[in-house]
Amino acid sequence: MIEQPEETSTERLSNQNNTNLRQKSYPNYKLKLDERAEWQFSNSELEHFEVFYAQQGRNEKIACMYVKASKNPKYTILFSHGNAADLGLMSSFYLGLGNKVNCNVFGYDYSGYGMSSGKASEKSLYTNIEVAWNELRRRYDVQANKVILYGQSIGTVPTVDLASKYDFAGIILHSPLTSGLRLAFPNTRRTWFFDAFPNIDKVPKIDSPVLVIHGTEDEVIDISHGQAIHSLCRNPVPPLWVEGAGHNDIELFREYLERVKKFINSDIAPVQNTNS
């Protein structure tokens, strides 16, 4: 049992000492939610989850979650969550989203978050998503043209970085920031050498279709960040500005799911068909 009584995540990983029957054998774990969780999965729902650790360097491990939400998925969503979250908190959302958009979902915790070891830093964010992407390819044989990168809030930082290096089926940027300095000082007009999270400089390098989603009443990252990111995309699709939505409630608005479905079923589907 991998369990730390003092930690606050609702997720638990329990080693079962057996292997997954794939091309290679990997340690198999089970997702467990303790009594503090606001939801409890049924046994049948738990069968949708595969959880494991990915090795990062010599001494660090990154907690990963693969949600088999669809028997015949159109894509796999590689999801980078927001700051105040971890896999335990996101697991219910991953399953629900995957079911509704007919996609499997691969999530991971950043260094120092949830059950992942190490310390959080800008550099570790970029390393974490590279490790997650490599695990998705290695374990599940999923190719880039069948992957949608989804970044939420701080999760847009590793998402944009990876998307600027490789081509994927599509990119979803949910409440993105332009850069750390611009977030703290909105009148900043250039990227200084000490500026963290410079999404604004990397977004123009992304060739994949990009959907930007932002709430008009976002109290954490002003919608002007999302608008700036959208304006710099090489291959943008019509954005979604959710009227009245804040930073943490966009998913509760009906138009959110409708727009994500359209992106998957219409906006990027023609591109995939052309290249196939």
* Contact between 36 and 10 (Cβ < 8 Å): yes
* Contact between 49 and 32 (Cβ < 8 Å): no
* Cα–Cα distance measured from residue 264 to residue 261, given in angstroms and rounded to the nearest whole number: 5
Q: Residue 247 catalytic?
A: yes
* Cα–Cα distance measured from residue 62 to residue 270, given in angstroms and rounded to the nearest whole number: 35
* Cα–Cα distance measured from residue 153 to residue 9, given in angstroms and rounded to the nearest whole number: 20
Q: Of these residues, 9, 116, 153, 175, which one is catalytic?
A: 153
* CA-wise closest residue to 210 among 245, 239, 190, 243: 239
* CA 166 to chain CA centroid, nearest Å: 16
Q: Of these residues, 218, 222, 225, 230, which one is catalytic?
A: 218
* Cα–Cα distance measured from residue 7 to residue 63, given in angstroms and rounded to the nearest whole number: 14
Residue 142: which residues within 8 A CB-CB, separation 6 or more? 76, 136
Q: How many CA atoms lie within 13 A of 177 on its CB side?
A: 23
* Ordered DSSP codes for 71-115: SS-SEEEEEE--TT--HHHHHHHHHHHHHHHTEEEEEEPPTTSTT
Q: Residue 164 catalytic?
A: no
Specify the length of the chain in residues. 276
Q: Which amino acid is at 239?
A: P
Q: Residue 218 catalytic?
A: yes
Secondary structure in 3-state letters for 9-29: CCEEEEEEEEECCCCCCCEEE
Query: Which residues are tagged catalytic?
Result: 153, 218, 247
